[in-house]
Amino acid sequence: MPTLVSHPDEVKVVSRRFGMGAANIDKYIELDGYKAVQQAIAQGPEMSNWIINTMKASGLRGRGGAGFPTGMKWSFVPKQSEKPKYVLVNGDESEPGTCKDHVIFLHDPHAVIEGTMIAGLAIGSKLGFIYLRGEYRYLLKIVEKAVADAYAKGFLGKNIFGSGVDFDVITQTGAGAYEVGEESALMESLEGKRGVPRIKPPFPAVVGLYGGPTVINNAETIANAPHILLMGGEDYAKLGTERNGGTRLFGISGHVERPGVYELPMGYSLRKAIYDVAGGIKDGKKLKAVVPGGASCPVLTADEIDVGLDFDQMGKAGTMLGSGGIVVLDETVSIVEFALRTIAFYQHESCGWCIPCREGTDWIKKTMTRVYNGGGTRKDVDNIQYLADNMMGRTFCPLGDAAAMPTLGFVKKFRKEFEDYIDGHKAGTPIITVEQLVGAGH
Amino acid sequence: MADVTFTVDGKQLTAPAGTLLLEACKSAGIEVPAFCYYPGISLKAACRMCVVRIEKMPKLQTACTTPVAEGMVVQTETPEIAQARKATLQLLLGNHPLDCPVCDAGGECELQDMTFKYGAATSFYAEPKHHREEQKWSPVVYYDRPRCILCYRCISMCGEGMDVFALGIQNRGSSSVVAPNVPAQMSPDDLAHVDCEQCGMCIDACPVGALTSGTYRYKTRPWEMNHVSTICTHCGDGCKTTLGVRSTSDGSEIVRGDNRDKSGINGDFLCNKGRYAFDFANNETRLTQPLVRQPNGELKPVSWEAALDLVGKKFRELRDTRGGKSIGVIGSNRTTNEESYLLQKFARTVLGTNNIDHHRTADYVAFAQGLAGKAGLTASLNDTLTAPAIMILGGDPTIQAPGTAWNIRTNVRNKRARLYIANSSEIKLRRQAKAFAHIAPFSYGALASFIAGDDSATDSLTHAGADAASFHSFRDAVRAEESLLVLIGSEIRGADLKRLLAFGTTMPNRKFALLSDYVNSRGAADMGLLPDLLPGYTPLAGNTTFAEYNTPSAPGLDMLEIFEAAGKGELSALYVVGANPISRYGVDPSSLANTFVVVQDMFLTETAAIADVVLPAANLYEKSGSVTNSYGDLQLVSKAGDRAGVRTDFEMIVRIADKMGANMQALVPFGKGTRADMGQSRGAQSGEADRHAVWLTANHLEPKLSPFDPFAILDEIQRLVPGYNLMRLQLLSGNDQHLEPAAGNLVQIANRRDLVLPANDSLFTSGTLGRYSAMLSDLQHNESLRPPTGLTQIQTAAD
């Protein structure tokens, strides 16, 4: 189990129970657990509106990476529906460099359950699913125990908290496909089909799981809901910046002194996050680059880190806040190697549905492998850029962009390094073999 | 839905709201390329070729998934779009083998066309292409993964279209492959196979040469063939099939069948028989010379002249000595309307007999009489695609009429038609049915009574463990339908059928169809290949329509009576045209020992083998004319193949009549006042339609048709046969037209003998003819390899 880290600049909302044994239901209750859901139920007929308005006021934006306002998403679900409505918690945390949902499930699983109930009450659903990444099998036990404990207490099941409303929660794990982190592919997977995304529109709020209106939220987003109801939407919003309410979990990894998951206010400086919160570059080396929000975000150079960590500021900086996984690279890192590792991941994870992603990731990886192995030419760098350019915005789902964006970032911002590598590297003498680098199975 | 107005490439267009942009563009003549889009199946948006620029949208959008909206402004061809498409093609071609010079699809490949259009000629990949070995999935389906662009059309065709689900995707990303449902690990021969209906729709849908057909692959290039649209000879749906024909040293050979142009009554559908089972024409046992039995009992090839002389002389002699009543005539379910009409006219006016029948596969006489005098109550095959509710009583369209089954599935899938099925077997279409009434075996009579309102019939309908109440709710649901198409299987006949129709016609908005088994089963009945009825179900007695025939008014012998008469030594001659009654009816050949038997056939069938004279016949693909499907839809048959030595049944009948000294002008009114040209003038050998002459007729000019031209008699069919008031230009331009020969006031004949004998063909058989198709034999053999109890059995055995 990873050691918990802490820093004075942290503002702990969703992480407030971390390390306090809140996976135990009694401890969770002691720490204000299941209060928010009861408070919502106490609103009587106004419950749904009250929840949605509070969420809207909080300015909470989806923590999965796309940053869609959560309250608005919940309000899109039709009040009346012939088909059952569902709440779906996306715990298929797979973006390389991201490890925040993992700590929530580990330390505070009841917050996810309570958040699921709140979302259910808001949209009029009676059934929630918690979809956990397949590789998080060791967390499944914790989550399943939490669900069982909630049932044992009578918090889940029939007539929850005397509301007259029934609510059930079912847990499910994936089978190891990154693509299933995409919301509609996750629904396909949950329905027992191939994890391939769906055509949108219709969006899940209208036609989702089993054809019913569905709210699907990232686990961190959902875990925030009880806290927001308890502290009030406006107060939560004030913690962050304009249009970027609240706080967020950032998983800082790579060449820093104190890697770990930190909860920082939205808009917090990236430079401070690296140099203050995470303790700066390890062993006194120099910073080379930062991948700021999971592997799919375009890289920032050492000169580009004076930017606030919120959706809008990061967008202006030409990258993304993404999933909050900040990967810090020091001067020893070969960008060629790093770029190859990145595209190898997306090539391996491409579901293969659409041509640009299926073939594009494959050819970029092949070309980059040859470059890495010393058989590249400068023209290859152009070709990689051409391929990535022609994947951008052309694929069926965001996975294609997720592969193209970082690739473009690497070859544009570090073109000279690629060229120097090609010019100075003798054919057939890789630093380590490609198999060692990306795994033999890739 | 309300219309919306939008702009595409500067043109203002209007289409109903909700129309897909790609379809709206197509309707306006604007081509938007797409690999994965295929009308009628689920949207994929996978190939990204149909990307277009829509104003106010940040990215290029796929036209195949975007519904048109009011005020939308769209560009479909800009440098940006061309670049996007080019890049997609470059990606595809990166792993494509580019073996176009030997690929079946070369010349008719969508990938080739798009590459040509967008010029994706440069490749910048240094790495080797993915290679995988080609797989033989069945005798008719081969898969070449390197050529595959993963458009998923085949998978949807098989799953959504055919409800077979034999194909799926295996692996992920660039390793993805289309995989069949019998994986190598579970297959007896360690190779992957499809366990399916072998319809080949996957091959038609394939935009490239990834899926190829066992009968056609590596045989020819598309541009070396002529493409002839004609009607499939096999089932009663009468689907259009486009035959690819190539010249050979002794005629012209059909090398493939498909319906990729999506034309005809069947739209884009074709089943395995329409697609592959034309190959009987090339069977090496095919007869190409007339055979005459010698005194020593052997059949010996003779010249046409000698054979026809003999038949003419014998027929005349036997008619004149023993009377027309001693001669029997058996017609075919696979000859054209013109041939069937001519045959019965020849029998009645030249041989002077009503002893004429055919293998009846459904009771069209009762059907016609049940609907007598009521116009507009028969359904066209087209109705199965659009009817809001359909009831199927008996029959199994999936096997017996695959085109009908396809239409029904499409209708249920895309238009949410409600399907009701009552059957004694759990037929496959029940999976699309809203309600399925599982009736007891042999209780179709009770079913007809029950549907018509007789509640006591439930006793006979219900079998052990069944609930009578479910039949009531079934009937209530059907009756509540405001509009209903009723498809009736051949199980319901005679009085039962009439009772059902009598009730049905009292309900508003009902339409009926009776399913039969072969391409012209309906036409054979319509054209009067019946001992007791003239063409158009006209009674023999007291008819004025066919007064010019001057025929005997007493009913002749039916199929069984003909052979009974033979057994009693009362049959002097038997003339069999395209039928195999010896096998079909289990006739003892020795009963015909004293009968002069003449058989026109392609092969030495059981019936031909006992004949005194065998005349080698052309098949439906080697002649022109018209056929009428089960529903009463009339369509044009066009000559595709050719074989030296054979003649059409039409020509043979005419020539025999001529040899008998018949009045040819009266038999085939081939010209107004012109002398019969019995020689070798145009069309004489081929029997082709003389379209020039048709135009002359239409313009009241004198046609000069050959007497061997089936169109010479079309005039008379049109003039005399009730219900066949067809539109010639519709027919000749290849359109189907629905006919209702039952619309007139028919005299009811009670207590007719039930001589309906369903063919009971499987998906891979087609009567006697099917036995001569090598591909159907292969498919039957392939079926026999299927493990008897499914895949789990193999797994256990392997353990």
Q: What is the DSSP string of A187-216?
A: HHHHTTS---PPPSSSPTTTS-GGGS-EEE
pLDDT over 50 (residue B746) = yes
State whether B173 and A177 contact (CB < 8 Å): no
* C-alpha separations of A27 from A17, A34, A101, A156 in Å: 9, 11, 20, 18
State whether A370 and B126 contact (CB < 8 Å): yes
State whether B176 and A354 contact (CB < 8 Å): no
User: How distant is the Cα of A390 from the closest Cα of chain B, in angstroms?
Assistant: 6
User: How distant is the Cα of B172 from the closest Cα of chain A, in angstroms?
Assistant: 5
User: How distant is the Cα of B434 from the closest Cα of chain A, in angstroms?
Assistant: 19
Nearest-angstrom CA–CA distance, A146 and B620:
73
**Chain B contact for A185 (CB, 8 A cutoff):** no
One-letter amino acid at B693 equals: A
Stretch 115-154 of chain A: residues touching chain B, C-beta under 8 Å: none
State whether A394 and B48 contact (CB < 8 Å): yes
Nearest-angstrom CA–CA distance, B118 and A431:
41
Closest Cα in chain A to B36: A354
Q: How big is the CA angle at A305 (ends A304 and A308), to the nearest 5 degrees?
A: 120
**Chain A contact for B176 (CB, 8 A cutoff):** yes
Residue numbers in A near B95 (CB within 8 A): 359
Mutate to test the interface with B, among A198, A207, A354 (most CBs of B within 10 A): A354
pLDDT over 90 (residue B188) = no
pLDDT over 90 (residue B541) = no
CB-CB neighbours of B788 under 10 Å? 6
**Chain B contact for A438 (CB, 8 A cutoff):** no
State whether B46 and A396 contact (CB < 8 Å): yes
Task: Quote ipTM for the complex.
Answer: 0.93
State whether B174 and A394 contact (CB < 8 Å): no
Task: Enumerate the β-bridge partners of residue A31.
Answer: none
pLDDT over 70 (residue B744) = no
Name the CATH code of domain A25-238 (choices 2.60.40.1180, 3.40.50.11540, 1.10.150.120, 3.40.50.300): 3.40.50.11540
pLDDT tens per residue across all 442 residues of chain A: 457 889 999 999 999 999 999 999 999 999 999 999 999 999 999 999 999 999 999 999 999 988 999 999 999 999 999 999 999 999 999 999 999 999 999 999 999 999 999 999 999 999 999 999 999 999 999 999 999 999 999 999 999 999 999 999 999 999 999 999 999 999 999 999 999 999 999 999 999 999 999 999 999 999 999 999 999 999 999 999 999 999 999 999 999 999 999 999 999 999 999 999 999 999 999 999 999 999 999 999 999 999 999 999 999 999 999 999 999 999 999 999 999 999 999 999 999 999 999 999 999 999 999 999 888 999 999 999 999 999 999 999 999 999 999 999 999 999 999 999 999 865 445 556 666 666 654 4
Residue numbers in A near B59 (CB within 8 A): 393-394
pLDDT at residue B548, rounded to an integer: 82
| CB-based contacts of B148, cutoff 8 Å, min separation 6 | B177, B178, B208, B210
pLDDT at residue B553, rounded to an integer: 84
pLDDT at residue B705, rounded to an integer: 64
**Chain B contact for A383 (CB, 8 A cutoff):** yes
State whether A352 and B95 contact (CB < 8 Å): no
Residue numbers in A near B124 (CB within 8 A): 379, 383, 386
Q: Which residue has the higher pLDDT, B140 or B796?
A: B140
Q: pLDDT-based confidence at B664, cuts 50/70/90?
A: confident
C-beta separation of A406 from A295 below 8 A: yes
pLDDT at residue B676, rounded to an integer: 38
Q: What is the mean pLDDT of residues B381-410?
A: 97
pLDDT (tens digit per residue) in B157-187: 999 999 999 999 999 999 999 999 999 988 8
pLDDT at residue A80, rounded to an integer: 94
Q: What is the mean pLDDT of chain B?
A: 91
State whether A359 and B43 contact (CB < 8 Å): no
Stretch 279-338 of chain A: residues touching chain B, C-beta under 8 Å: none
pLDDT (tens digit per residue) in B669-721: 765 544 334 433 444 344 444 554 555 555 555 545 677 888 888 889 998 99
Residue numbers in A near B47 (CB within 8 A): 354-355
Task: Enumerate the β-bridge partners of residue B614.
Answer: B291, B599
**Sheet containing strand A287-291, strands side by side:** A260-265, A247-254, A325-330, A287-291, A300-301
| CB-based contacts of A40, cutoff 8 Å, min separation 6 | A47, A50, A51, A118, A121, A122, A229
pLDDT over 90 (residue B587) = yes
Nearest-angstrom CA–CA distance, A75 and A49:
9
- All domains of chain B in start order, with CATH: 3-77 (3.10.20.740), 95-213 (3.30.70.20), 291-361+523-622+644-724 (3.40.50.740), 372-515 (3.40.228.10)
The SS3 assignment for B637 reads strand
**DSSP conformation letters of B234-293:** SSTT--EEEEEEEEETTEEEEEEEE-TT--STTTT---HHHHHTTGGGG-TT---S-EEE
Nearest-angstrom CA–CA distance, A115 and A94:
21
CATH code of the domain occupying A247-330: 3.10.20.600
Nearest-angstrom CA–CA distance, B347 and B357:
11
Residue numbers in B near A203 (CB within 8 A): none
C-beta separation of A387 from A366 below 8 A: no
Nearest-angstrom CA–CA distance, A105 and A113:
10
State whether A396 and B176 contact (CB < 8 Å): no
pLDDT at residue A177, rounded to an integer: 94
The SS3 assignment for B195 reads coil
pLDDT (tens digit per residue) in B436-450: 999 999 999 999 999
pLDDT over 60 (residue B795) = no
User: How distant is the Cα of A286 from the closest Cα of chain B, in angstroms?
Assistant: 36
Nearest Cβ partner for A383 among B46, B124, B174: B124
Residue numbers in A near B51 (CB within 8 A): 394
User: How distant is the Cα of A440 from the closest Cα of chain B, in angstroms?
Assistant: 15
CA B149 to chain centre: 31
Residue numbers in A near B174 (CB within 8 A): 347, 350, 352, 358-359, 361-362
User: How distant is the Cα of A314 from the closest Cα of chain B, in angstroms?
Assistant: 19
State whether B48 and A358 contact (CB < 8 Å): no
State whether A355 and B125 contact (CB < 8 Å): no
Residue numbers in B near A366 (CB within 8 A): 125, 127
One-letter amino acid at A95 equals: E
pLDDT (tens digit per residue) in A96-111: 999 999 999 999 999 9
pLDDT at residue B699, rounded to an integer: 59
Residue numbers in A near B92 (CB within 8 A): 355, 359
**Chain B contact for A372 (CB, 8 A cutoff):** no
> Where are the domains positioned within chain A?
25-238, 247-330, 335-438
* C-alpha separations of B111 from A61, B124, B455 in Å: 43, 19, 61
pLDDT at residue A82, rounded to an integer: 95
Residue numbers in A near B18 (CB within 8 A): none
A335-438 is a CATH 3.40.50.300 domain: no
C-beta separation of B358 from B349 below 8 A: no
User: How distant is the Cα of A354 from the closest Cα of chain B, in angstroms?
Assistant: 4
Least confident of A185-194, A367-376, B110-119, B786-795: B786-795
CA dihedral B31, B35, B38, B44 (to 10 degrees): -120
State whether B174 and A362 contact (CB < 8 Å): yes
State whether B173 and A348 contact (CB < 8 Å): yes
User: How distant is the Cα of A195 from the closest Cα of chain B, in angstroms?
Assistant: 10
Phi first, then psi: give them for residue B553, nearest 5 degrees: -90, -10
pLDDT at residue B543, rounded to an integer: 77
Enumerate long-range contacts of A412-419, CB under 8 Å, 24 or more apart: A412/A385, A413/A289, A413/A299, A413/A301, A414/A289, A414/A299, A414/A335, A414/A339, A415/A381, A417/A334, A417/A335, A417/A336, A418/A335, A418/A336, A418/A371, A418/A381, A419/A378, A419/A381
Q: Please report, rounded to a whole number, the percentage of residues in chain B having pLDDT higher than 70.
A: 93
Q: Which residues of B373-408 are buried (b: 16+ CB within 10 A; e: fewer)?
A: eeeebbbbbbbbbebebbbbbbbbbbbbbbbbbbbb
User: How distant is the Cα of B129 from the closest Cα of chain A, in angstroms?
Assistant: 10
Q: Is the backbone of residue B165 left (phi > 0), alpha (psi -120 to 50) or beta?
A: left
State whether A356 and B87 contact (CB < 8 Å): yes
Closest Cα in chain A to B152: A353
User: How distant is the Cα of B783 from the closest Cα of chain A, in angstroms?
Assistant: 29
Q: Which helix (H) or strand (E) holds A312?
A: helix A311-316
Closest Cα in chain B to A363: B125
Mutate to test the interface with B, among A194, A200, A203, A353 (most CBs of B within 10 A): A353
pLDDT (tens digit per residue) in B453-471: 999 998 888 887 778 889 9
* C-alpha separations of B504 from A159, B377, B448, B513, B748 in Å: 53, 10, 10, 12, 18
Mutate to test the interface with B, among A94, A345, A349, A358 (most CBs of B within 10 A): A358
